[in-house]
Structure formats: structure tokens, C-alpha cells
Homo-oligomer: A and B are copies of this chain.
Amino acid sequence: MGLTTAQKDILDKAVEALHTRGFHSQYPEHPAPAIYGETADADGKEAFKALRKKNFEELKQEGATSWIGEEHSPYFDAPVGPKYPAFSTEELINRAEKAFHSWRKVSLDDRAAVLIDALDRFSKRFFENAYATMHTTGQGYMMAFQASGPHAADRALEAVAAGYDELSRFPSKTTWDKPMGKYNLVVNKEWRAVPKGIGLVIGCSTFPTWNSVPGVFADLITGNSVLVKPHPGAILPMAIVVAEIRNALRDAGFDADACQLAVDVPSAPITKELAEHPKVKLVDFTGNSEFGSYLEKLPKAVFTEKTGVNSIILDSVVDIDKVIQNITFSVCLYSGQMCTAPQNFFIPEGGVKTPDGVLSFDEVAQKFADFTNGLIDNPKAGPFVLGAIQNPNTGERAKNAAKELGGKVWLETRTIENPIFATTRTQTPVVIELSSADKDKFATELFGPIALLIKTKNTEESVALARELAEEHGAISCGAYTTDEAMKEHIADQMSLAATPVSFNLTGGLFVNQNAAFSDYHVTGGNPAGNASFTNPGYVNGRFTWVGMRELA
């Protein structure tokens, strides 16, 4: 088969984008009728409704021992509905092993063709997937469409491109010709990029596809078979992706079991059993640090994105209102349930410098509370930006934060009404003041809508704390506001030592939470927030081994 001209073009552009790192996107992020068709949204909604009522049979994973699934919508406060086929671990492994031995022999071009075809098939279901994502994660519609659809597909394509790039980077054959004086020693050499075996991709409840598809596609492009184990609370979005990968595999004449869905319910988890199985050679994980650190100790190739403590450093600004508007939006977006959401806002006790003089700590804090409130109470924005709370514990954490942390509360957390689903589980951000002496309080991740305004002696202390937290507890993002070039370099230098990317002086339509495929490395792999990075060479190189064969010519 090989790549079609169109697929070759998609791949070439993606590989080029990886190296130029400018803006590139293959799958349009705007859910516009002009792009996706007039009825795309309505069709997607109907398709989602249809999926709710039945067994998810389109995977065509035959012989299930039972059909299970306990997803629950934080919007309509009821089961999402679909049931998925369940299998014993041995059955999943046996099928994956069998498929591995044919898939590993498929040419790189054919593998790339199948995977790009799978993404094309997936793109036709972005709207259906958006609703599936909304009602499992609690994301707002726009985020659910973008992050779970086109952005996830772009990150998947990025992984395919990275794998293709690495696998094509060294010759598969050469003649080694060594002058020995009176004669030449001539050796025919061959190298094989040998996949590791069976991969396991473990998903999270808040970003079921965005965080998981890179690992799935990275495993597959490098010739491994893969078991996709979504979080039991957010299966459907990934089930759609797996179904389309299997369709692409099957239609190309390959064993669809190169990619299988493996599901469980909270009362009977299967993740550890799968992860510890000796035939599982690769594990991708997004989730909490404790489980991630356990996985990292397994004797296999493990790629993690765990948790971190993200900081915003406020030093000096051009326009304080634009700054506060930007950072409070970051706090409200999906109610702080993003791994890139900022938690700790370091503000000097002497205040923040502006062109009109210094704004005191209290003035900044008041603005922070006011802008947060303003966004929450904007009926055209608030409910949709905040979305819903995926896990009830997250809401509880925000409710208890003031009591547990102490410190002045600049803004109480509350619930708001969602205009579409009256039963939506909401919790708005709580804004709490702490001091730099309260490190024990702000040094752990408080996942969800919790913003801590931390009074520091000066910006130097802010930077030192942000670096220390990132080094010791991990960080995935950092925002910094300074108009001082020397301070900017100081922050860049210090945070780079903590392997934490910094967004400087963001205002307007770009937020510290956002990482773009082909350009922004997501998680650096260099601090405790995770050991892998979307998508650096190590992300794919760790999935196969170069092995040489040689013989005298």
C-alpha cells in the first residue's frame, strides 16, 4: 500500500513542523459549519446520544467476558451509558502479542499510512467526540471539541511524525569498508529498529484523548502493539479513537488487535495487573504522582505525565488589568482542572511595578478577586469557561481549602448555575492569600479551582520559590510578568534549571495553560512532573531499539 500523495504531504509537513517549530495544525480547531459542514454539530450530538444507549460494539473486539462501563456525566448527573467489552488480562495480552508479531514487520510507510488514515477517520467524529468528552470530563463544549479532537489529533500526528523521523534517521544498510593496508576489510551491515513489544497507555479522567493519543500513536508508529486503558470515568472519547484505529488497521489488511481497548470500572481496576505483566514492555501514564512514581519503578520503558505545582511570578507589568484578566482566565478555565493550570501566584510584598506606579499587594489581590468574579458572573462566558467538576473530590478540595490552609480569603468558592444543564456540578475558584513562609501549604498540588496569592519579600524570592517547587515537586508551566530584561533572563535561567517552560507577559488570547503541538514541548521530562515530553526524540526513541547485523562482504 504505502502512503498516498495526500498522506505523504501531511507527514512531510508534520516532520518539517517538528523541526521549524512554528505554527502548524493539520486538523482545524474551529468547530465552524464552514469547515466541518452545516449539520456537523447536530449530527455529532445525535451520534453521541445513540452511543449512550448501547454496547460499544464498533470496536469489534469479539468474545467479551462481559460488558461494563460506569461513566457519569457531571453535567446531567446521570450515567453516560455505553458499555464496553471486558476481557481477562491474559486474553488482552495474547491478542496483543499475536498482533505485535505481524505489526512489527509492517513497513514504516505502511504504518504511517494506517495511522494517518485513522486520524482522518477520527476527524470525522470530532463533534461526537466533543460531546463524549464534555459528559465524561466536565469540560466546556469549546475545550471538549478542541482539546479532545483537533488538538489531540495534531499531537497524535506529531508523535507519528517524530517516530517516522527517528526511524528514518539512520540507514538500514551500509557497506563498511576499512582500509587495512594491503587489503580492505569489507562488511555488510544492517540495522533493525526493533519495537519493544506490547505497550500500555493509561488515560486520565480530565483529558482522555489529548494526553493519551500521543502514546498510542507513538507505540504504533514504532511497531509496538498497544493496549489502551482509559480512566474508568472517561472511556468514550478514547473508545472512539481506538475504534477508528482498528477500522484503519482492518481496512488495510492488518490485525486490528495491534490496538485494543482495555476497560475497567472503579471497583475492579485492572491497571496494575496490566502494567506489571512481563509482556508489557512500555507504559504511558497521565495521572497522579503516586501511581506515576510506582510505574516509573517498573522494569520497563515508562513515560509519565504526573502532577506539578505551577507558578505565576508577578514583578512588573505594562497593563495590570490585561495581566490579571489573562491569569484569572487561566484559573477559571475548566475550573483549574488542567495539569498546566497555575496555582501559586507570587507577588512581592512591595507590590507590582506598573507604568503608573506601584500597585500594592492588596490592590493586586483585589483585582485578582474582582476579575475572577467578573468572569464567573458573565453569563455568556463564566459557565462555559468553568465547565463542570469531573471528580466530586475536586470540588470538596476547593470548599475545604480556606479552612485547611488558613490565610485571608480574597474570594470564596461557590457554585453557579449552568444555563443548559441545571444539574451541573460546579465549583468556582477560591482565592487565598498566603505568605512565602507557608511553603508547606503551597508546595503540594491542590488540583482544581484553588488560587494562592503568595506574598514574597521580593521577586528574587518569588523566583527562588518557583524554581524550588518545580525542582522538588514538579511543574508543567510557569508564567512570569516583568518588564525588566535582566529579571526576565534571571527567571528564564532559573526556571530552565528546573526544566520548566516560562510564558512571559501573556495577555489577550494566549494562556499559560496552552501548549501547541509541533511547537511547545508539553512537560519537559526534566522535573518530577513527568519523565516524558510531547514530543521530543526520547519520546519515540525509547520505544524501539537499534540492533545491528553484520557479515563479511
Residues of chain A having any CB pair with chain B under 8 Å: 19-23, 30, 166, 169-171, 174-181, 185, 187, 189-192, 194, 196, 297, 492, 495-497, 499-510, 516, 519-521, 524-526, 533, 536-538, 541-542, 545-552
Query: Would you call B519 and A22 a contact (CB within 8 A)?
Result: no
Q: CA separation between A499 and B195, bound complex, in Å?
A: 9
Residues in B neighbouring A189, C-beta threshold 8 A: 21, 519-520
Q: Which residues of B contact A492 (CB under 8 A)?
A: 190, 192, 549
Are A174 and B524 within 8 A (Cβ)? no
* Bound: A23/B176 CA distance, A: 5
Which B residues are CB-close (under 8 A) to A501?
Answer: 547-550
A499 touches B551 (CB 8 A): no
Question: Of B171, B185, B524, which contacts A546 at CB under 8 A?
Answer: B524
**B502 adjacent to A171 (CB under 8 Å):** no
Q: For residue A270, give the distance in angstroms from its CB to the closest CB of chain B.
A: 25
Beta-carbon contact of A499 and B545 below 8 Å:
yes
Q: Are A23 and B537 in contact (CB under 8 A)?
A: no
Also in contact, A502 and B538, with CB within 8 A (given A22-B175, A22-B177, A189-B519): no
Residue from B170, B176, B545 in contact with A516 in the complex, judged by beta carbons closer than 8 Å: B176
Are B194 and A21 in contact (CB-based, < 8 A)? no
Give the residues in chain B near A179, CB-CB below 8 Å.
Answer: 23
Give the shortest distance, in Å, between A342 (CB) and chain B (any CB): 15
Across the interface, A169 reaches (CB within 8 A) one of B19, B520, B549, namely B19
Please determine whether A541 and B536 come into contact, CB atoms closer than 8 angstroms: yes
A178 to B550, CA, bound (A): 48
- Chain B residue contacts of A550, Cβ below 8 A: 501-504, 520
List of 4 A-B pairs having minimum Cβ-Cβ separation, nearest first:
A526-B545, A504-B551, A23-B178, A501-B548
**Min distance, Cβ A512 to any Cβ of chain B, angstroms:** 10
> In the complex, A549 Cα to B178 Cα: how many Å?
46
CB atoms of B510 and A191 under 8 A apart: no
| A543 CB, min distance to chain B CBs, angstroms | 11
